Amino acid sequence: MTTSQPAADSGPGPDDAGARPSPSISRRALRDGVYDALLEKILDGSAPAGSSLTIDALARELAVSPTPVREALVQMEHTGLVTREALKGYRVAPPMSREHLEQLFDMRLILEPAAAARAMARIEELLPELRAAHARHEAAADQVRRRLDEGRPTTGEGFAELREYFTADWSFHLAIVHASGNVFLQQSLDSLQTHVQRMRQTADHGRLDMDEAVAEHADVLAAFETREPTTVDDALRRHLHAVAGRVSSDG
């Protein structure tokens, strides 16, 4: 989130309480809001892989001008979530190739165990956060499971529970990396989040690995509870290898 800082000396004084945000901040906030709305459409399945993204139509749907839509799509193109063809416009990117999936998990297997090893120095601070993240993940899985048991869709308007599940899942991993105390490890994992989202964009929302993922997170948490670095490393690597195998079998 971007916050403005007060001027040091000159300029409007404290009586200027009605000052408006600068146009650049307002424009950036609008673009970010459009980006989030487009990301939601991709992840909830309402804009499936390969589908066309027309700037004017999206602007009408979101009740904004075409400019923030165009800026958001340019930003998405840099992440690989959408592609652009000359004279044809933007499309939702195709599913990640098997090769790119392997590279994604290879990178995670480099970053996350390294972060976990460093997080051991802050284990007493990490454990409460990791327990809370795991509890949130379990609760989110229960909500999605209940929706599926009732035969309600997890796409379109029903995506809210699934979005919370994905967020809770990723937050568990972020808690470990943040506890490493290494800002560059944190930035590296943050940069992978969009690619993880892309991995999920074509997921079959009716066939999830929730039970496996929740159980594996429980194993990782239990490993941290032992305070044994080798046990933690083994549990985390088993989880990441297991997720990679499940994703590959779906591809």
Last residue of a domain, one of 92, 121, 145: 92
How many C-beta atoms lie closer than 10 Å to residue 112's C-beta?
25
pLDDT by 10-residue block (mean), the chain, 251 residues: 43 48 70 87 82 94 93 89 88 87 94 97 97 97 88 71 89 96 93 78 59 96 98 98 83 48
In a domain, 4, yes or no: no
Identify the domain boundary among 61, 92, 123: 92
Sign of the CA dihedral with 12 first, then 17, 19, and 25 last: positive
**Residue type for 66, please?**
P
Model pLDDT, residue 65:
93
Tell me if residue 150 falls in helix, strand or coil: coil
Asked if residue 193 and residue 107 are part of one domain, the reply reads: yes
Does residue 2 belong to any structural domain of this protein? Answer: no
Strand segments, DSSP code E, in 74-137 are 82-85, 89-92
End residue of a domain, out of 42, 69, 92 = 92
Do 226 and 117 belong to one domain? Answer: yes
- The domain that holds 222 is classified in CATH as 1.20.120.530
Give the Å distances, CA to CA, from 196 to 34, 57, 200, 209.
Answer: 20, 27, 6, 15
Q: What is the pLDDT of residue 206?
A: 42
Query: Cα–Cα distances in Å, from 8 out to 3, 11, 16, 22, 211?
Result: 15, 9, 15, 17, 54
Based on its alpha-carbon atoms, the radius of gyration of the chain, rounded to whole angstroms, reads: 21
Q: Who's near 27: CB < 8 A, 6+ residues apart?
A: 68
- Size (the chain), residues: 251
List, in order, residues 6 or more apart from 61 with CB less than 8 Å away: none
State whether 53 and 119 are in the same domain: no
User: Do the domain assignments include residue 204?
Assistant: yes
Per-residue model confidence (pLDDT) at position 199: 77
Note whether 167 and 189 are same-domain residues: yes
Q: Are residues 86 and 135 in the same domain?
A: no
My answer on whether 112 and 199 are in the same domain is: yes
Looking at the structure of the chain, the number of domains it has is 2
Q: Give pLDDT, residue 173.
A: 96
Distance CA 177, CA 203 (A): 25
- Residue span of the structural domain in which 66 resides: 23-92
Q: Are residues 77 and 105 in the same domain?
A: no
Residue 168 lies in a domain: yes
